[in-house]
Structure formats: structure tokens, C-alpha cells
Amino acid sequence: MVLTNEHIQMAAFLGAGISVGLGAITTGIGSGIIAGESAYGLVRQPKANDQLFRTMLIGQAAAQTAGIFALVISMLLIYGRSDLPEGGWYRAASYLAAGLAMGLGSIGPSLGAGYAGGQACNAVARMPKESNSIMGNMLIGQALSQTSAIFALVVAFLLIYSIPVQPADISTGRIIVKTLAIIGAGLSIGFGTLGPGSGIGYVAGKASNMVGRFSHEKSTIMRTMFLGAAVSESTAIYSLVVSFLLIFAL
């Protein structure tokens, strides 16, 4: 089957919808967790209104990162090079895989960043005078949890702009193999970010909570958070390597 421009555009538009759809769902949930914990903390500690409001807004902004990445990929898929006649199955598969990579890749980081921000608001309500330390720990933890989303963004860019044009004289079997490899690359990094993104967010949330309880131990708590997050991130790196192999080595 020979693919036309319309077929390639259909794959691009489907990928765009998957990307921003999944990104919006999880980013909204993560931001809502932060807002909910902030509202609950305000009832417990009305005098900490300013600190809670500031922590909530900054935490929500950080939690929106993966959603913004998903929006960027969607815009590129919609208004990018999907109308080019060259590419065939390779290009169609790469556009769909880019949407899968960024859409699935936003789930774990968004939920993890939301949990980290929510726990930080909880800690600020308990210990308002330590709001700066808690917020700093929250931002570092959220940044670590968003690393997986950056991996997904990189793979999505590669899928959009680095896929070779399908040769005219290639066999059907080879087309199927390469097409499935491209889609597998998107699924690899997409699913591979679920655990690390949410797991690091859990670590960051617990660390922020403990900084609010035992502020004199914040250096030890942050050091433990860094080490735990580094180990948790390793599986996302494995997924990134496999995605690179599926894109360029087959």
C-alpha cells in the first residue's frame, strides 16, 4: 500500500491528539493535587496564606512542564512537515510514535511533580517559617522528576526530524520491521518514564514533608533524595537507549 499525503497527515494529527490529550489529563491532575493540598493547608494554618499561595503557584508552574512539552510536539505535528509527499510508512509511523512518546511520557512526570508540590504545601502549612527551604527542596525534586519528560521530548524531536525517507525499492518485510521499530521507540520511552517520573516525585514529596518536620536535618534529607532519585532515573535512561537503538540501529 502506497501512502499519500493524506495518510501521513492523519498519522500526524492522531499523534498530536494523543500527545496533548494525555499531557493535559495528567498535568491537570498534578496541578489539582497541589491546589487541593494548598487549600487544605490554608484551613489548618490561615496565617500562612502568602507562603502557601506562593508555593502553590510555583509548584503548579513546575508541574505544567510536561504538558507544555506535549503542546509543543502537538503544534509541530499539526503545523510541521506532515504535508511532504516523501516518507511513506516511515514518516507516518514516526509522527504517530512522536505523539505516543510525548503523551505517555508526560504521565509519570506530571503526577510525580504534582505529588511533590502537594506535599510541599502540606509541609509549609505545618512549618511556615521553613517555607523557603521546603520550596527549594520541592523545586529540585520536581526538576528531577521532569527529567524523564525531557527524555521523551528528545525522542519525539528525533522521530519528527531524523527519520530517513523510505526507499522506493525496499521490500514489504523491511518496511514492516522498520515501521514497528519506530513505533516501538515511541512506546519504549513513553512507558519507560511512568515509573521514574512518578517515583522521583514520590521521593521529592516525602523529602519536602520531612523538611517541614525536621528542618535541622534538611541537608541529610536532600542528599538522600538526590541519591534515591538518581537510582530511580536509571530505568528511564535504559528506555532512552532502547529508543535510540530502535530509531537508528534497525
Q: What is the pLDDT of residues 126-142, one digit of tens each?
A: 888 888 888 888 999 99
pTM for the whole structure? 0.88
Q: What is the pLDDT of residues 11-34, one digit of tens each?
A: 899 999 999 999 999 999 999 999
Is the domain 5-248 a CATH 1.10.10.10 member?
Answer: no
CA distance 233 to 250: 26
> By the 8 A CB rule, do 38 and 122 touch?
no
Q: What is the pLDDT of residues 169-179, one digit of tens each?
A: 778 788 888 88
CA distance 151 to 113: 16
Single-letter residue type at 149: A
Positive or negative torsion for Cα 190, 193, 194, 198: negative
CA distance 146 to 150: 7
DSSP letter assigned to residue 64:
T
> By the 8 A CB rule, do 215 and 133 touch?
yes
- Assign 1 to helix, strand or coil: coil
Structure confidence at residue 159 (pLDDT): 92
Q: Which residues contact 141 (CB under 8 A, 6 or more apart)?
A: 116, 200, 201, 203, 204, 205, 207, 208, 225, 229
Mean pLDDT of 196-218: 88
Structure confidence at residue 48 (pLDDT): 82
CA distance 190 to 204: 22
Q: At residue 9, does pLDDT exceed 70?
A: yes
CA distance 144 to 150: 10
